[in-house]
């Protein structure tokens, strides 16, 4: 008889909470089995599948497309058509088409997280993308290694036309804006620390400066 796990045991094995397992069960991402008394349980085969230790020959092939803003829906359609043409040419049968509208710097994209969860569960054989930054802007090597560990191959078309330069500029500006704000916050924090070390109250000093006659 195959070894089975209660949700708490299974969650501990794969590093997920019981709440996450319940969510995956409801969404059909990782359905739990039911005992005659309707108690949920998981099998050892599901554990092996999650760890990517079961052959992925029968896994899914996912085509993933992304643009940064709703105004680029025409570009999204062109991107999907390019992916479709490539897959037809290479005789790749696509099981799922996933698309996102959002920055490559945003790792909370719905479609992106859906793909990552399925890869983590060992359900995906191949992901086809037009260009590396369609998937992520930075850290692509990490995600590629993550896919390899779970038996998933990433196929990149490398079409330059699928990576608009204006998106890269927009993302770089976003990074500069975020770090500028953080730098300003750090300077303010350092000023507070310096004032505390000197036994001063910055607000009192500022008030004193405001009350000083302009020609003193």
**Which structure tokens are listed for 13?**
């094995």
The answer to whether 87 and 94 are in contact (CB under 8 A) is yes
- Give yes or no for a contact between 20 and 120, defined as CB atoms under 8 angstroms apart: no
Mark whether 68 is an active-site residue.
yes
If residue 4 lies in a helix (H) or strand (E), which one and from where to where?
strand 4-5
Sign of the C-alpha dihedral, residues 24, 26, 29, 30? positive
- Catalytic pick from 35, 56, 68, 188? 68
How is residue 203 annotated by DSSP?
A: H
In whole angstroms, what is the distance from residue 149 CA to residue 145 CA? 6
Q: Which residues are catalytic?
A: 68
């Amino acid at each position: 008889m195959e070894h089975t796990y209660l949700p708490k045991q299974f969650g501990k094995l794969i590093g997920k909470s019981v709440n996450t397992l319940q969510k995956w069960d409801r969404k059909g991402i990782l359905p739990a089995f039911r005992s005659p008394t309707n108690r949920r349980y998981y099998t050892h085969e599901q554990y092996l599948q999650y760890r990517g230790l079961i052959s992925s020959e029968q896994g899914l092939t996912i085509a993933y497309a992304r643009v940064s803003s709703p105004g680029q829906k025409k570009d999204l359609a062109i991107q999907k058509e390019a992916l479709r043409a490539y897959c037809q040419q290479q005789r790749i049968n696509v099981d799922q088409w996933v698309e996102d509208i959002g920055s490559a710097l945003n790792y909370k994209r719905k479609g992106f997280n859906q793909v990552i969860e399925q890869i983590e569960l060992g359900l995906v054989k191949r992901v086809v993308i037009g260009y590396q930054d369609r998937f992520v802007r930075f850290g692509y090597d990490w995600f590629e290694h993550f896919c390899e560990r779970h038996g998933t191959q990433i196929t990149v078309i490398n079409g330059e036309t699928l990576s608009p330069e204006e998106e890269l500029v927009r993302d770089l500006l976003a990074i500069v804006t975020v770090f500028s704000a953080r730098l300003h916050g750090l300077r303010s924090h350092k000023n507070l620390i310096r004032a505390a070390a000197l036994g001063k109250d910055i607000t009192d000093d500022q008030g004193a400066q405001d009350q000083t006659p302009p020609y003193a």
